[in-house]
Structure 1
Amino acid sequence: MRGTTHHFLHTPKMTAPSNLTHAAPQQQRFLVLFDFDETIINESSDDAVISALPGQQLPDWLKNSYREGHYNEHMQKVLVYMAEQGVSKDSIQSAVEKIPPTPGLLNLFQYLQNHQQDFELAVASDANMYFIETWLERAGVRHLFRKIFTNPASFDATGRLVLLPFHSHSCSCCPDNMCKQVILREYLAGRQKERGGAPFQRVFYIGDGANDICPSLALGPRDTAFPRRDFPMHRLLLAEEAKFKANIVPWVSGEDIVDCLKKIMEER
């Protein structure tokens, strides 16, 4: 990855001084939930990994086997095919690490790192754990995220990347393997218990896709949905704005999100 290291954060990981490790941590006031593909990174990780294939594309029979709402199943077949074509773990890792961040996202991470006492971060993505952790580690930001909600994926003994569905749910709007609203509601309820009954003061949801609409419906009037401008989430939000209680702030660059968070921080 020569020549691209400037994309990534090189700040040291923040650790508490040894004399403070037993002090009760201050509770973070805000939750920031990120999508991954085309939100943190500037393309789809699934598409990027196909570039590791010898011909850099899928055969038509495999492309045409996709069924609406069953993307996870389709991607399982793609990974089987890649293993059959001899694509190695190293090639997959390299393809993931080369994906560029979305403009301004690393500046947003820098801002959130500088205000770790205020913001808790999590990811909710229909990609998979191997792609997401590999990219976040390479970018030097994995330590910022308390939790990653995504489809399990790991290499088996034969060197094949095995993908599984995240969960099952009863939401009719979402793909059968993931409803991000279920994830968000369960996480908020669980964290409130762990925090001694204290909810987050505000929730921020940053996304781009159609599957980011459902969790946005769970946000309240103090919360903010950040749809990436002119992407499906933004277009769908505009069409259904009346349904949403949350503030809607479209963004082009991570800088736009930083500007909004700074204003909210000044309101304290």
Structure 2
Amino acid sequence: MAEKILFAFDFDHTVIDDNSDLYCKKLAPNGKIPQEIEQTYSDLGWTKYMGLIFEYLHKHGVTEQHFRDCMNEIPLTKGMREVIEYATKNEHESIIISDSNSRFIDYVLTDRGLKGSFSEVYTNPAHFNEDGQLTIAYYHTQDWCDLSTVNLCKGHILQEHIKRRQNDGIHYKCVVFVGDGTNDFCPALRLTENDYICPRVSYRLWKKIQKMGNDPHSTNDKQKMRAQVVDWTSGVDILEFLKSLERC
């Protein structure tokens, strides 16, 4: 594969085998978030809801080191390290597009020795304020995509990344998008016939694609899947697919 491939990875339940936002709740007293905070999700949205959780954890003495240790309890998804290292070894490009946050992702990539494998990480920016409280902001505020949340349209981010690379003279042989969730559906629909969407079996993205019918290419124009679908249950499946792609 002499030509460069772009690998775009989701983070939660893809690179790592859990949801980083939900996992950090264990840092709360008795591992419980008060119901009055839990009830805010439907009105405020996920990112602002997580901001309230971070505020609550801070009030109960949770520090940056606690967050870092917590994130590094989460295992990488089986075989995913090998997929990432394969892409790096073969001089392809890997990025992450995730609705998690920059701190959580940086902890995992840095402490697992994978940070240098990714050229870009697109996610909600997070930092610790002067009081030591973890805060989070929207990656962007969008109103153009009904399939995506207001704070993160993965399809838009993916297309903008490809355009920027084209301006730099880099043209990809294909894009391989690896994900699991509903918010991975938008970028899946923006891929071309030369690209590959890799949904994790039994997760929400896979179920949405399954609902499109046995032939996902025969749906309506508004939600037409043009990319080739490669199902996976572990990174081993993706790696075998990549090796077969190399032989073509």
TM-score per shorter chain, which class?
A: over 0.9
Partner of 1:53: 28
SS in 2 for 1:203: strand
Query: Judging changes above 3 Å, is the alpha-carbon distance between structure 1 residues 58 and 188 closer, same or farther for their aligned structure 2 residues?
Result: same
Q: TM-score, normalised by structure 1?
A: 0.85
Partner of 1:253: 234
Partner of 2:225: 244
Partner of 2:184: 212
* 1:92 correspondence with 2:92: no
SS in 1 for 2:190: coil
Give 1:187's aligned amino acid: H
* Separation in structure 2 between the aligned mates of residue 247 and residue 69 of structure 1, nearest angstrom: 36
Mapping of 1:127-142 within 5 angstroms? Answer: 127-142=100-115
- 1:216·1:246 contact (CA, 8 Å) conserved in 2? yes
1:200 to 172, 179, 190: 172
Mapping of 1:153-172 within 5 angstroms? Answer: 153-169=126-142, 170-172=144-146
Query: Judging changes above 3 Å, is the alpha-carbon distance between structure 1 residues 35 and 164 closer, same or farther for their aligned structure 2 residues?
Result: same
* 1:186 correspondence with 2:160: yes
Query: Judging changes above 3 Å, is the alpha-carbon distance between structure 1 residues 45 and 28 closer, same or farther for their aligned structure 2 residues?
Result: farther
1:89-115 Cα deviation digits (max 9, x unpaired)? 111110011111111112212322321
* Separation in structure 2 between the aligned mates of residue 207 and residue 188 of structure 1, nearest angstrom: 18
Partner of 2:196: 224
SS in 1 for 2:152: coil
- 1:122·1:147 contact (CA, 8 Å) conserved in 2? yes
Work out the number of aligned pairs and report it.
237
Q: Report how far residue 29 of structure 1 moved.
A: 1.3
2:54 to 71, 79, 82: 79
* Separation in structure 2 between the aligned mates of residue 140 and residue 161 of structure 1, nearest angstrom: 23
- 1:28·1:120 contact (CA, 8 Å) conserved in 2? no
1:1-60 Cα deviation digits (max 9, x unpaired)? xxxxxxxxxxxxxxxxxxxxxxxxxx9611000000010000000111111222112111
* Separation in structure 2 between the aligned mates of residue 97 and residue 190 of structure 1, nearest angstrom: 33
Query: Judging changes above 3 Å, is the alpha-carbon distance between structure 1 residues 34 and 167 closer, same or farther for their aligned structure 2 residues?
Result: same
Q: Which runs of 5+ in 1 are unaligned?
A: 1-26
Which structure is higher in helix share? 2
* Separation in structure 1 between the aligned mates of residue 78 and residue 44 of structure 2, nearest angstrom: 29
Give 1:145's aligned amino acid: F
Percent identity among equivalent residues? 30
1:222-254 Cα deviation digits (max 9, x unpaired)? 100000000000000111223200000110010
- 1:52·1:87 contact (CA, 8 Å) conserved in 2? yes
* Separation in structure 2 between the aligned mates of residue 81 and residue 28 of structure 1, nearest angstrom: 48
- 2:85·2:117 contact (CA, 8 Å) conserved in 1? no
Give 1:179's aligned amino acid: C
Q: TM-score, normalised by structure 2?
A: 0.92
SS in 2 for 1:67: helix
Q: Which runs of 5+ in 2 are unaligned?
A: none
- 1:69·1:176 contact (CA, 8 Å) conserved in 2? no
Q: Report how far residue 69 of structure 1 moved.
A: 7.8
- 2:147·2:185 contact (CA, 8 Å) conserved in 1? no
Give 2:193's aligned amino acid: P
1:144-175 Cα deviation digits (max 9, x unpaired)? 00000000001111110110000012212211
* 1:146 correspondence with 2:146: no
